[in-house]
Amino acid sequence: MAASPTYGELTDKGASTNIAWHEASVDRAERAKARGHRSAILWFTGLSGSGKSTLANAVNAALFKRGLATYVLDGDNIRHGLCKDLGFSDADREENIRRIGEVAKLFLDSGVIVLTAFVSPFRADRDKARALVENGDFLEIHCDAALDVCESRDPKGLYAKARAGQIKEFTGISSPYEAPENAELRIDTGGQELQQSVEIVISTLQDRGVIPAA
Amino acid sequence: MAASPTYGELTDKGASTNIAWHEASVDRAERAKARGHRSAILWFTGLSGSGKSTLANAVNAALFKRGLATYVLDGDNIRHGLCKDLGFSDADREENIRRIGEVAKLFLDSGVIVLTAFVSPFRADRDKARALVENGDFLEIHCDAALDVCESRDPKGLYAKARAGQIKEFTGISSPYEAPENAELRIDTGGQELQQSVEIVISTLQDRGVIPAA
């Protein structure tokens, strides 16, 4: 620990001066100007195994290479941290998505392009996250792969457990996935090369003026 | 909304290719290298009216001017968002600080110097936030102003309400403030000019190698 510096005594002058302290906040527009790009929430949604986290991380890496400020929120950094108190009841799932939406909003405000990669199966919960921010700041990206493709991948063995009844209310097996009806993007993560999917997301960000052309 | 692009059909090739998709994550060290500075959590703690938010915002503005990635978490962006479900019971106060610590950790991981400005009166809660991250990533900054100075400022009229019994368990009046014993910095926000306080924080960040010398 560094030693604390020595400070002056309390003085009347100090106290009265301090009343004049004012907020020197930096707003989102200033950050965007300094960074050379707008911020946005890229909300990836889809079945387990549909490639949300893979695609989000690949887009993230591509944007990072271009010098842009980005961050991925996914199970790895949320489930054992901010949301570790939550289980899988309906109320807890809803609260999980609510918190992710609020954290994404903070990153948006900080000038970062934030990519969230969660199943987020319910339309109402996704719409609530969308409603937290301005129109145009939230891009819903449906990672659309057929259930049998996702189940054949089963990278974490979750489908096998769900089929064996060891996981209750597993999305696609014993709990519904409500596909987006008006997503900004639908990506064929069942059949398409990853690089092609990345390019579609990037070009959409360019077309919408979030990031400059390469 | 942009029209969705057209995608190819699902193919066996696609599905098998996708199994080889791998994570392309960007880590904190890469971000620090690209940005030219490390990230850190600057945890401002002190009585209501001690100048936490003012100092945090002024440091934030100074760092932003130097082109660094920064963000302030305070009541303005947390209380009505991520933590709007929480009240002021002991359990809720603890959960409030827990969530702020977890969100600060996410910003840290994203390469941002994050400044949190909350009373955070209890040592145990602050220590839990500190314990979430590596040694050296968490700088506790005690905004130290005498109670009578804070009460005379009373920018939000909260002390008056607390004295009138309209706010229960108000820190400093009817609930304890546990001052840090080993804070990385103690700042005399009761008597010292704001600019001097800002300079102390900035030079500490330089001395610790978080940010380069100006």
Give one DSSP letter per residue of A67-78, joined into a string.
Answer: T--EEEEEHHHH
Give mean pLDDT, residues A95-123.
97
Mutating which of A1, A16, A21, A54 best tests the B interface, going by the most B Cβ atoms within 10 A? A21
The one catalytic residue among A120, A152, A174, A175 = A120
Helix or strand or coil: residue B109? helix
Predicted confidence at residue A24, as pLDDT, reads 61
Q: Is A181 on the interface with B (CB under 8 A)?
A: no
Instruction: Give the residue from chain B lying closest to A106, CA to CA.
Output: B77
Backbone angles phi, psi at B136, to 5 degrees: 95, -15
Give mean pLDDT, residues A37-58.
96
What residues of chain A, 127 to 166, have a C-beta less than 8 Å from chain B? 132, 144-146, 149, 152-153
Instruction: Give the residue from chain B lying closest to A10, CA to CA.
Output: B191
Calculate ∠ Cα A128-A129-A133, nearest 5°.
105
* Contacting residues for A16 by C-beta, under 8 A, at least 6 apart: none
Mean pLDDT score of chain A, rounded to an integer?
A: 88
B68: left (phi over 0), alpha (psi -120 to 50) or beta: beta
In total, the C-beta contacts within 8 angstroms joining chain A to chain B are: 187
Give A22's pLDDT tier (boundaries 50, 70, 90).
Answer: very low
**Are B15 and A204 in contact (CB < 8 Å)?**
no
**Are B31 and A4 in contact (CB < 8 Å)?**
no
- State the smallest CA–CA distance between residue B58 and chain A in angstroms: 5
Give mean pLDDT, residues A138-166.
95
Per residue in B68-90, pLDDT (tens digit) is 999 999 988 998 899 999 988 88
Predicted confidence at residue B23, as pLDDT, reads 52
CA distances from residue A144 to A185, A203, B58 in whole angstroms, order as listed? 10, 19, 45
- How many other CB atoms are there within 10 angstroms of residue A20's CB atom? 7
A203 included as an active-site residue? no
- Residue A89 pLDDT more than 70? yes
Predicted confidence at residue B12, as pLDDT, reads 31
**Are A109 and B23 in contact (CB < 8 Å)?**
no
CA end-to-end span of chain A: 45
CA atoms in the 13 A half-sphere facing the CB of A66: 17
Residue whose tokens read 């989000």: A56
What sign for the dihedral angle of Cα B47, B49, B50, B52? positive
Instruction: Give the residue from chain A lying closest to B192, CA to CA.
Output: A14
Give mean pLDDT, residues B8-13.
28
Give B17's pLDDT tier (boundaries 50, 70, 90).
Answer: very low
Residue whose tokens read 């610590």: B101
Mutating which of A7, A43, A59 best tests the B interface, going by the most B Cβ atoms within 10 A? A7
**Are B67 and A109 in contact (CB < 8 Å)?**
no
Q: Which domains are present in chain A?
A: 37-207 (3.40.50.300)
Q: Which residues of A touch B7 (CB under 8 A)?
A: 144, 186-188, 191-192
- State the smallest CA–CA distance between residue A161 and chain B in angstroms: 19
Percent above pLDDT 70 for chain B: 89
ipTM: 0.88
